[in-house]
Amino acid sequence: KQEVTQIPAALSVPEGENLVLNCSFTDSAIYNLQWFRQDPGKGLTSLLLIQSSQREQTSGRLNASLDKSSGRSTLYIAASQPGDSATYLCAVLANQAGTALIFGKGTTLSVSS
Amino acid sequence: DTGVSQDPRHKITKRGQNVTFRCDPISEHNRLYWYRQTLGQGPEFLTYFQNEAQLEKSRLLSDRFSAERPKGSFSTLEIQRTEQGDSAMYLCASSFPTGTNTGELFFGEGSRLTVL
């Protein structure tokens, strides 16, 4: 059974710092991996999607990497801003015929000004 | 319409009452998913549809839960005889099927259920 773990559970940083959020999964046979952002009481916003054949994806100040063999992904946020404060969720899609994303519990990020 | 919409955004009900949530997916997406999220946890899969067919249901979906997607468009999730443990955020997502697309899921804003 696929399990997704995110470390740390919470992170507080001052504005301007570069930071890394970690995601690990137990079954390396995944179809894709998706990073989401969730603001309190809100739905999920897709940030980046990495296909299993890819090593990384970038969008603005965000960079996500994928190492399938070790079962790990990282989300790198450059020059953090208070507006980046949110919970970041990692999710994997098991395979091409897979029906549902399996989520981690998320990392709650707080960026202070 | 550019996103997934859910209604109502927040529902407060008394234990034992029935509640129904509606989800309108992105119009060209034929896969629709329901997830449940409790405080401090990641979303947990409940069920998914491809067009009007309900193809998979999680063990989390007890007999009190029923989901439909008539005509393969909007979907409803009904909870009968609500219990306090049903209090959660119910999230809907849609996508194209994998293999023909990236498999990226797009989520709505969720429907928060509070059972008193």
Amino acid, res. A26: T
* pLDDT over 70 (residue B99): no
Do residue B98 and residue A4 have CB atoms under 8 angstroms apart? no
Find, among B93, B76, B81, the residue nearest to B29 by Cα: B93
3-state secondary structure of A82: helix
* Sign, CA torsion A86/B59/A71/A51: negative
Contact between B96 and B8 under an 8 Å Cβ cutoff? The reply is no
CA-based nearest residue in chain B for residue A104: B42
pLDDT digits (tens, 9 = 90+) for A6-65: 999 999 999 999 999 999 999 988 889 999 999 998 999 999 999 989 999 999 999 999
The minimal CB distance from B42 to the residues A41, A43, A89 is found for: A89
The size of the A-B interface in CB pairs under 8 A is 66
Task: State residue B97's pLDDT score.
Answer: 63
What are the distances in angstroms from CA A113 to CA A46, A75, A110? Answer: 25, 21, 10
For residue A36, which residues of chain B lie inside 8 Å, CB to CB? Answer: 107
The minimal CB distance from B33 to the residues A97, A100, A105 is found for: A100
**Which of A80-94, A96-110, B58-72, B84-98 shows the lowest mean pLDDT across its residues?**
A96-110
Q: How many residues does chain B have?
A: 116
Amino acid, res. A10: A
CA distance A1 to A49: 22
CA-based nearest residue in chain B for residue A89: B42
For residue A59, which residues of chain B lie inside 8 Å, CB to CB? Answer: none
